[in-house]
Structure 1
Amino acid sequence: MSDVCRRPDGSESSRPVSRRFFLGTALAVTATTWAAPRAKARSLRAHEKLNIGVVGTANRGAANINGVQSENIVAICDVDSRYLAQAQERFPKAKAYRDFRKLLEQHDLDAIVVSTTDHTHASPSAIALNLGKHVYCEKPLTHSVHEARTLATLAKAHPELATQMGTQIHAGANYRRVVELIRAGAIGTIKEVHTWVAKSWGGDHRPQGEAVVPDYLDWDLWLGPAPQTAFNPGYHPAEWRRYWAFGNGSLGDMGCHHIDLPFWALDLTAPTTITADGPPVDPEVAPNHLQVRYEFPAVGDRPALSLTWYDGGLRPALLKQPGMPRWGDGNLFVGDKGMLLADYSDHRLLPEADFREFQPPEPTIPDSIGHYNEWIEACKTGRPTTCNFVYSGNLTETVLLGTVAYRCGQTLEWDPIGLRAPNCSKAEEFLRRDYRAGWTLG
């Protein structure tokens, strides 16, 4: 018996609704994911201010607070009392919490901003959506592929709730101009994309030994759903990115920022295969460098193409060709009529001599009102955000599949409907994770 299925990008497929589909998606998402929210989002007029709760107040949290401080910050939460005290000085009327689950019980909240470690992104975001709250969450959206699918499913089920992932550069003018050039065919049909960063969030081994937990840190709450782990100062506040229990290395840190551009410009969805190369796999520690090749299927008029990711100092060989400009991190689009080199704030059409007389197309993508303002306005008006959890969940899934392929040690064939790699049963242990007792997703 056939029915209409929905792909991760929202498009339809006449593929039969099989038991595998339901086991791979519906039952993989917890029951609370499919429940209606226990409260509805409050209707606001344009001049009214949102009541926002902030989960994570320092580092990225501080930057995100600055982005939404035009609204009412009515609740703040941090497992580190030093950071919490600093936030209390700024917002003395806000209620303070150490546990985000307690914050989410505060009844006057309209929305939350999640800026915690990657392994604690999904739980507060999912719970908030189930409670009828708008959500802004830092990148990557989640720590696992399954969590990303869960948040995307929740966002799709509750379109009245505004969601936004913290890919701030998406709102910049440069990305818009690059998208317009690619879509206008400035360099012809795209055959391949190369994306690279110099960062290296890797290591040789996990921190050794157990230290006394400082009195300012609630270590059990910091761990959240992650496995029980002895405290070591090598984890908090930033080094956790190096370890699989809490982060996903350089790809997890920067992939959503840089791969966002080709995802947007080329309307990418899920890859068909993923191949990763790096140093020998460590079961606990991310690699110092990684190269991942994603193969994307043909869609409509766009043929199949590849996207290759490089980090830890690796760079595409094309950058060594004569005439290539000096460039930091970025993307290189390779078409049959030329190349386009781009970073956050600049782009070049190559070879430059061939494009000396080129006239760019008239801008068609409106300027952003600002990354945070997009989300704030969406909370009040219902207008969609450009980095909503449906788009960002798909992007995050693809990014994290690179780490799954690396940890499996083989090319993955990817079934996005079933949320599985049919050729690699080992992938299952990296696609999702067990939550520690007392912690839930949604």
Structure 2
Amino acid sequence: MNSRQSFNRRRFLASGSLAATSLAFPWISVRNVLGANSRLNIAAIGAGGKGGVDIGYCAGENVVALCDVDTRNAAGAFKKFPEASIYQDFRELFDKESSQIDAVTISTPDHTHAHPAIMAMRAGKHVYCQKPLTHTVEEARILTKIARETGVVTQMGNQGHSQTESRRLVELIQAGVIGEVKEAHIWTDRPIWPQGLKRPAEVQAVPDTINWDLWLGPAPERPYHPSYAPFKWRGWWDFGTGALGDMGCHNMDLAFFALDLKNPTEISGTGEGGTDESAPTSSKVLWKFPANKQRGPVELTWYDGGQKPDPSLVSEKELPGNGCILMGTKDTMYVPSYWGAASFLSGASMEDFAGIDASLPRWPGADKDNDKAHHHEWIAACKGNAKALSHFDYAGPMTEAVLLGNVAIRAGSRIQWDAESMRVTNNEHANQFIRKAYRKGWELPV
């Protein structure tokens, strides 16, 4: 098979549905899934920083194109994949390489996720997109819809979703070991970049290695400044989603996965030190999720910027930088990190529940490198041999809910949310943060 030949998608299930035989035993054999004779042709949109990591995990496939607006930041990926075509504009990449591409990774700042994701899905390409899935609530809704319409395989880059112990915790929660979960408390040590900023007044020269116009993409016209790129963009509303947007899709994943959380009806948030341009230095947000067929209502509280829940909730004197507490009617589960093994307030251990059957697939090595496992799950799903579990039908509603926390913070009040009409019903001012305006020439390609 020619190394650049597009593999025949008709040989596989384009919908990415899990092969029936995989359900008999939850461990998936990477060796059987990733055959050398059925390699994907993959393009990376965003190849520096996290983008280099993402496409690096796809090195067993045919990496045919790399796109990055910062040639210095992406130099490592350019060197690693010397046969790949190089672009700065993802629109040009699609124009010239679309017939050669089966799938894309998207690892750009938040404000430039939606455009290439929509273009890729409309062209029938599978998509791996970094978290948060989008920059706005409206964009998340649009990507979810297009993913359903096109049937391509999708995966959001919240790699803890594939972690072995995290999937075990989902099974235990759904088996009822802590009873009906009523409350969740989740926190992070972010931001580790500046927030609560005023826009810089001085203008600096654009580095020769950056195409600043393409870096801005759909964002408002702003002069270049190192306060934005290459890393500090997360703290600016024009480009990022703050600590909540960055870490919410990681640290909240266990609660969303296990409890099927979506479409909160009420959100209230407070932030300290925020400005019109920049996310707050710390925040606390409460979501109220309605009951569904499997559980009653759930209240989830988020903390960042040094704020944390009361450690006495889990009989501790101090809490670590990141964690999750799920409070059920029978017991309380405590995960003292982004993901991984849990302890129980009752004194129970994970081993006490060994008799509960596994129901979710496992990836070998996911306990040591969940990021690798998460990418390989997506690759296997593209070939019809697995199901990508952080697909956009899951990741889209999750991103909507997370970003509604930012809407409440920016609105400065409790908001009531009507998911069906995608509107805040009690505060018209808040609706301006559900969507955004796009720079001329960068309208959303829906």
- TM-score after normalising by structure 1: 0.86
TM superposition shift of 1:142: 0.4
Q: Secondary structure at the match of 1:68?
A: coil
Q: Secondary structure at the match of 2:38?
A: coil
Whether 1:43 aligns to 2:10 is yes
Letter in 1 for 2:86: A
**Counterparts of 1:296 and 1:412, CA distance in 2:** 13
Whether 1:62 aligns to 2:52 is yes
TM superposition shift of 1:374: 1.3
Q: Which residue in the other structure is 1:314 paired with?
A: 307
CA contact (8 A) 1:41 1:132 kept: no
**Counterparts of 1:364 and 1:381, CA distance in 2:** 19
**Counterparts of 1:129 and 1:321, CA distance in 2:** 44
Whether 1:421 aligns to 2:424 is yes
TM superposition shift of 1:240: 0.5
Whether 1:173 aligns to 2:168 is no
Which 5+ residue runs of structure 1 have no aligned equivalent?
1-39
**Counterparts of 1:355 and 1:78, CA distance in 2:** 46
Residues 5-24 of structure 1: matches in 2 within 5 Å?
none
Letter in 2 for 1:223: L
CA contact (8 A) 1:43 1:380 kept: no
Q: Which residue in the other structure is 1:112 paired with?
A: 104
Whether 1:93 aligns to 2:88 is no
CA contact (8 A) 1:77 1:97 kept: yes
TM superposition shift of 1:357: 9.2
Letter in 2 for 1:139: K
Q: Which residue in the other structure is 1:403 paired with?
A: 406
TM superposition shift of 1:390: 1.2
CA RMSD of aligned residues (A): 2.1
Q: 1:323-352: per-residue Cα shift (whole Å, max 9, x none)?
A: 567544111001122200013122101132
Residues 334-353 of structure 1: matches in 2 within 5 Å?
334-342=327-335, 343=337, 344-352=339-347
TM superposition shift of 1:399: 0.4
Which 5+ residue runs of structure 2 have no aligned equivalent?
1-6, 13-34, 365-372
* CA separation of 1:138 and 1:357: change in aligned 2, threshold 3 A: closer
Aligned residues: 402
**Counterparts of 1:418 and 1:357, CA distance in 2:** 45
**Counterparts of 2:142 and 2:358, CA distance in 1:** 35
Q: 1:251-292: per-residue Cα shift (whole Å, max 9, x none)?
A: 011000111110011111110100001225411010010100
Residue in structure 1 matching 2:324, options 327, 331, 337 = 331
Residue in structure 2 matching 1:71, options 50, 61, 72 = 61
Q: Which residue in the other structure is 2:175 paired with?
A: 184
Q: Which residue in the other structure is 2:125 paired with?
A: 133
Q: Which residue in the other structure is 2:25 paired with?
A: none
TM superposition shift of 1:410: 1.0
Q: 1:16-65: per-residue Cα shift (whole Å, max 9, x none)?
A: xxxxxxxxxxxxxxxxxxxxxxxx98435653111111011111111101
Residue in structure 1 matching 2:136, options 144, 149, 159 = 144
TM superposition shift of 1:176: 1.1
CA contact (8 A) 1:171 1:368 kept: yes
TM superposition shift of 1:382: 7.1
TM superposition shift of 1:406: 0.6
Letter in 1 for 2:223: A
Q: Which residue in the other structure is 2:287 paired with?
A: 294
**Counterparts of 1:335 and 1:327, CA distance in 2:** 21
Q: Secondary structure at the match of 1:377?
A: helix
**Counterparts of 1:216 and 1:179, CA distance in 2:** 45
**Counterparts of 1:358 and 1:83, CA distance in 2:** 48
Q: Which residue in the other structure is 1:22 paired with?
A: none
TM superposition shift of 1:373: 1.3
**Counterparts of 1:379 and 1:331, CA distance in 2:** 32
